[in-house]
């Protein structure tokens, strides 16, 4: 497996030149565009190659965390009352859902509007408390109590987050959320700005692959059924409107973020985290996807 | 003409029962649903029947004022750089412009997004000043220096204006405006809340029908060509996505607002103002439209 | 007026280089791209400059004829039951009407789907007879009994008409038409291929400007109200999704076709026909539009 | 496993009353609405309960067969040049792909337009031959040489197939297919009308679950990688715009048809075929889906 990882690193770094580092959040543009890190974590071993020490912000990779906590706090039914689970056929930040009044059926937990809506379902007396609980869950799953928000990215997101504010006001206009928009988008920006590395993502994915059981203690960190929910939704729409292509070429539940990270879950077997900030046109890490294609092919990871 | 007006009043009040008073802004719901007022103003006479003393807020009827002031301050070319002039085929407050990135071509001055965008073009060191200039122009055209904002409606709009905030943030997200969203939507809500009656609307329409010349002094209040611009755009999209139907049945440039008012321009001949707060499904005053149909038929007002 | 016409010809021919001759129907590509002809017809005179002897096919300019005959055969109400009158905000041949099931409200008589639907309303025991009646009406209005179908263009249209067949089957799928698709599209292709020149279009427009009264005999060729209907609908959507721009810059009801013709109606005053086959991006004759802008400006033709 | 099957039959037949038998093809309406059959096939056993002898037409369940044969005849790359693999977010027979010109990226092999496009890729000197090869493949995978077209359903589809003809002409209009529309839709209607029962579907699914190896002979019936392709695409969009919900609640690749059948693939483990003609709003067999939910829960079938 180590050889395959080395091969993936050697063969896939060149694909960074085919992508573009996200620029709509100015702070993200500072990333080293040809970085590539890959970490595989199983119950027994941790293999990490390349730039696995490089830190990056979760961005959309935090969406499965938001979904998971919303499920833990409310159960599936209440979550499903608020948001749908179908692919939208459209980019993750689109306004163009339909000719009809917006309903939950038009969105899902992996598009921005869906994630923002789900944040309002998280328990907590204040939005600060909701965020603390989300950060705490992320730390637990990553087994890394030192995870923090990257303040520079958070500020950059907050200052340039007109699209997310528009989406949140749209949710409010259609009665899907009722809170103060600035409060909910503030913790959305914070959540997107949680700083991780490949190991953290691999660890979170490993817990999801084990249906919520802690790899060390075997303690159930959350109900097993919710891992199934998250993995199913990731397979449908975790890789933006490139999820079908990813199912075809890789074949495992995964979530990417415009920060360059991908968290990939191989059910019952392993968790994988990759990092490479140059993105393809759909917003997925170009070299990360190529590395996962190679790993899937050589290690027979596809669930199909 | 007075007989025709009386007939229109007598025959059209019954149509108020076919409409619904706007409820999305709570304060608007307080309107007396079966009110109907009609005022015709020509160079020589003012005829007013029915509830012409009833006050109501301009709502979308202020959009031609915004367009006119943006034209006066910037000229046609700069206005056209920011917004299009085609009917969108969609409701006035829709988000669903296209599968593509939003551009000016997707909106026009008579949909909310277009009017909000145009407000940013109005001269003034502050948004307060921009609004004062808009109110001042409206007072001049209405020949009524006492026009004021209805504070209760303004507050109601501001508190429930999520959709307009969403539209404004969407404009900002696509780089079409760069100001603070709260500042521009605040004066948009104020502009919509200017309180008028049928006479005010008829007077404004009369000035537009005379290509900007003051009915009393014959002074040119704004360049004649801008009256042509406003009238042309009203005929294309002044009556929301019912503008084609209105062209067919009435055949004159007009603008309606969800407050119940309609301002109708009969080029070279007269201005008409109607008020009746019960709206049809497209947001146009039901009895107001029926009254204009009757007037157009009996007085041969259609320009086609 | 003759001087103005000469000026329009001299100043506007250069705009042919900004357009492109339609190529989706191969036969149309044979047109001489820099041709420009302009004809003005009033009750008293006929002025023609430039390439007014050049023949071209009506293409979409036949749509007002189809609408008019459908109105004459059925009345407005039945026509309105089948098709709407609002601008769609989309190109004339688009499939993308809505997320909902197609209804008449999604189309209008000036988009292909609407014109095809209206052909089924024309009286006649066979589609051959329906077409003969349409050709006959067109000849009468053009005062030109020699009008015929251009067989080469008709064959070219028929062979490449997949989009129109798709639209017709879509109408059938949604129960809006029930005839054989091949029959109705066949006469649609024939109708589009009727060969005319600028004088023919000016004459048809003149009749419409006189509300149906024959310029020579003053005989009412069709009910006056239907002229109003046609003119109103032309002003809303006669120039494709460039109708707003045309209202702003020219300000008269008009219909263009991809063959290069424009028929423009100046109510109560005159009819204008222009021909220049190089089209702008929306499918309107580039030099024809520019010529009409100049004529409108210099002769004060705008109805607004 | 037999007990679970019996339980599924007993508990799920009641859900037939929540669905509606397809009526847009008149012949389909004749189905007995409360029928329910379930068949599980593994390498070692065949379990069948309920109405497993009832015959029904494949309808959209034939789409994976079309995709598979297109892959076998052309390879993945050529298939991907013609059609996309992303969920469209829209019903399977929609016209409303986008505001842009139609491209392969707007469709996928599981919507009608995509399946029709792929039929043109199948080898064969004539459309009759293409169809014979498709029927032959289906017989081989079902291990049932007696499979035939239901002529009554085929005729009914052909007579009422305006929407599919519209889609095919749309594909032709955008240059995605170049054949005669009537020829390709004719074999599409035939393919949809192939008559099967639950055992046939379970057998086809079993071969897909074994990556193409024949359950009896272990002979590779088609390249293993193509099984992975088909299964991946089924998981993304096999259950129409209810694929996300199905992934969440069942979690296995599956394809449903409006004839009432569902073919479900449990990778490496089994194939399942269900039949119950009453459909939910998205066009999936209501009782079939409920039975698969129960089986997945009790037999731990989910791949997530």
Question: What was the pLDDT predicted at D93?
Answer: 77
Buried b (16+ CB within 10 A) or exposed e, C118-144: bbbbbebeebeebbebbbebbbbbbbe
- Collapsed DSSP state (helix, strand, coil) of residue D222: coil
Q: Which residues of C touch B85 (CB under 8 A)?
A: 244-245, 247-248
Least confidently predicted of A17-21, A290-294, D138-142: A17-21
Average pLDDT over residues A242-257: 97
Residues B248 and B201 in one domain: yes
Q: Which residues of C touch D102 (CB under 8 A)?
A: 95
Residues A88 and A183 in one domain: yes
Residue D97's pLDDT band, with cuts at 50, 70 and 90, is: low
Q: Within 10 Å of residue B264's Cβ, how many Cβ atoms?
A: 32
Chain A residue whose CA is closest to B180: A162
Q: Which residues of D touch C165 (CB under 8 A)?
A: 165, 169, 181
Choose the catalytic residue: A21, A63, A243, A289: A63
Of chain C, the percentage scoring pLDDT greater than 70 comes to 98
Residue corresponding to tokens 């008589």: C109
Question: What was the pLDDT predicted at A98?
Answer: 61
- Chosen from A88, A96, A281 to mutate, greatest number of chain B CBs within 10 A: A96
Give the distance from residue B159's alpha carbon to the nearest chain C alpha carbon, in angstroms: 31
Chain D residue whose CA is closest to B98: D99
pTM: 0.94
Contact C296, C272 (CB under 8 A): no
Residue D96 has pLDDT above 70, yes or no: no
Residue A154: inside a domain: yes
| Crossing angle of the two packed helices A198-209 and A63-82, in degrees rounded to 10 | 40
Q: What is the dihedral of CA D22, D28, D31, D34, to 10 degrees?
A: -10
Residue D155: inside a domain: yes
Provide the H-helix boundaries in chain A.
2-12, 63-82, 112-119, 127-142, 151-159, 162-173, 181-192, 198-209, 224-237, 243-249, 286-299
Residue A106: inside a domain: yes
Cβ separation B166–A163 shorter than 8 A: no
A248 at the D interface (CB within 8 A)? yes
D63 is catalytic: yes
Residue D304: inside a domain: no
Residues B50 and B76 in one domain: no
User: A297: which residues sit within 8 A by CB, 6+ positions away?
Assistant: none
Residue A94's pLDDT band, with cuts at 50, 70 and 90, is: confident
Give the distance from residue C123's alpha carbon to the nearest chain B alpha carbon, in angstroms: 23
Give me C13's structure tokens.
Answer: 């021919």
D20-68 pLDDT, tens per residue? 999 878 888 889 999 999 999 999 999 999 999 999 999 999 999 999 9
Distance of alpha carbon B99 from its chain centroid, rounded?
29
Residue C287 has pLDDT above 80, yes or no: yes
Question: What was the pLDDT predicted at C25?
Answer: 82
Residues C147 and C166 in one domain: yes
d(CA A252, CA A66): 20
- CATH at C180: 3.40.710.10
C60 is catalytic: yes
Residue corresponding to tokens 């769609």: C88
Last residue of a domain, one of D159, D192, D225: D192
User: Which of C97, C163, C169 has the CB atom closest to D165's CB atom?
Assistant: C169
Residues D181 and D105 in one domain: yes
Residues D142 and D171 in one domain: yes
Question: What was the pLDDT predicted at D24?
Answer: 79
Q: Which residues of C touch A98 (CB under 8 A)?
A: 99
Parts of chain B with a pLDDT under 50:
none
Residues C185 and C212 in one domain: no
Question: What was the pLDDT predicted at D26?
Answer: 84
Q: Is the confidence metric ipTM above 0.90 for this complex? A: yes
Q: Which residues of A touch B91 (CB under 8 A)?
A: none
Residue corresponding to tokens 């060191």: B125
Question: What was the pLDDT predicted at C96?
Answer: 61
Residue C87: inside a domain: yes
Rg of chain B over all Cα atoms, to the nearest angstrom: 18
Last residue of a domain, one of A130, A163, A192: A192
Residues D70 and D179 in one domain: yes
Average pLDDT over residues A6-32: 92
Cβ separation C232–B84 shorter than 8 A: no
Cβ separation B232–C248 shorter than 8 A: yes
Residue A51 has pLDDT above 70, yes or no: yes
D195 is catalytic: no
B174 is catalytic: no
Residues C93 and C132 in one domain: yes
Average pLDDT over residues A187-194: 98
Residue C287: inside a domain: yes
User: Which of C250 and C106 is assigned the larger pLDDT?
Assistant: C250
- In eight-state DSSP terms, residue B102 is P
User: Which of D162, D173, D181 has the CB atom closest to C172's CB atom?
Assistant: D162
Cβ separation A251–D233 shorter than 8 A: no
Domain limits for position A267? 2-59+197-298
Q: Helices H, strands E: what count in chain B?
A: 11, 9
Question: What was the pLDDT predicted at C185?
Answer: 98
B90 is catalytic: no
Of the candidates C232, C185, C222, C254, which has an alpha carbon nearest to the alpha carbon of residue C69? C222
Chain C residue whose CA is closest to D177: C162
CA angle B63, B64, B65 (to 5 degrees): 85
Total domains, chain D: 2
Residue C23 has pLDDT above 90, yes or no: no
Residue B161: inside a domain: yes
Residue A99 has pLDDT above 70, yes or no: no
Last residue of a domain, one of A174, A192, A210: A192
Residue C28's pLDDT band, with cuts at 50, 70 and 90, is: confident
- Chosen from A88, A94, A96, A99 to mutate, greatest number of chain C CBs within 10 A: A99
C80-118 pLDDT, tens per residue? 999 999 988 887 777 765 667 888 988 999 999 999 999
Residues C124 and C157 in one domain: yes
Residues B76 and B164 in one domain: yes
Residue B8: inside a domain: yes
C162 at the D interface (CB within 8 A)? yes
Of chain C, the percentage scoring pLDDT greater than 90 comes to 89
Residues C121 and C161 in one domain: yes
d(CA A240, CA D87): 11
Distance of alpha carbon D160 from its chain centroid, rounded?
20
Question: What was the pLDDT predicted at D99?
Answer: 66
> Which C-chain residues 96-125 have CB contacts (< 8 A) with chain A?
98-100
d(CA C235, CA C244): 8
Give the distance from residue B178's alpha carbon to the nearest chain A alpha carbon, in angstroms: 10
Computed over every residue of chain C, the mean pLDDT equals 95
């Amino acid at each position: 497996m180590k050889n395959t990882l080395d091969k993936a690193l050697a063969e896939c770094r060149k694909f960074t030149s085919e992508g573009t580092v996200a620029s709509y959040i100015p702070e993200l543009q500072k990333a080293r565009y040809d970085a590539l890190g890959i970490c595989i974590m199983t119950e027994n071993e941790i293999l990490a190659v390349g730039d696995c020490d490089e830190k990056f912000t979760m961005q959309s990779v935090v969406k499965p965390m938001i979904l998971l906590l919303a499920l833990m706090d409310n159960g599936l039914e209440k979550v499903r009352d608020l948001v749908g689970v179908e692919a939208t056929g459209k980019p993750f930040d689109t306004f163009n859902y339909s000719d009809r009044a917006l309903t939950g059926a038009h969105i899902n937990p992996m598009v921005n509007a869906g994630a923002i809506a789900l944040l309002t379902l998280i328990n907590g007396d204040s939005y600060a408390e909701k965020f603390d609980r989300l950060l705490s869950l992320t730390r637990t799953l990553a087994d890394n109590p030192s995870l923090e928000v990257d303040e520079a990215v958070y500020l950059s997101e907050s200052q340039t987050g007109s699209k997310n504010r528009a989406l949140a006001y749209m949710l409010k206009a259609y009665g899907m959320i009722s809170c103060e928009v600035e409060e909910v988008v503030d913790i959305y920006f914070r959540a997107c700005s949680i700083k991780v590395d490949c190991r953290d993502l691999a660890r979170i994915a490993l817990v999801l692959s084990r249906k919520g059981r802690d790899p060390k203690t075997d303690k159930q960190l959350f109900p097993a059924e919710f891992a199934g929910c998250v993995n199913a939704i990731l397979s449908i729409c975790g890789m933006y409107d490139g999820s079908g292509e990813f199912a075809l070429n890789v074949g495992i539940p995964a979530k990417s973020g415009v920060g360059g990270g991908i968290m990939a879950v191989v059910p019952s077997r392993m968790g994988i985290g990759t990092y490479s900030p140059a993105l393809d046109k759909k917003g997925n890490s170009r070299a990360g996807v190529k590395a996962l294609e190679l790993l899937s092919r050589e290690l027979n990871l596809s669930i199909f």
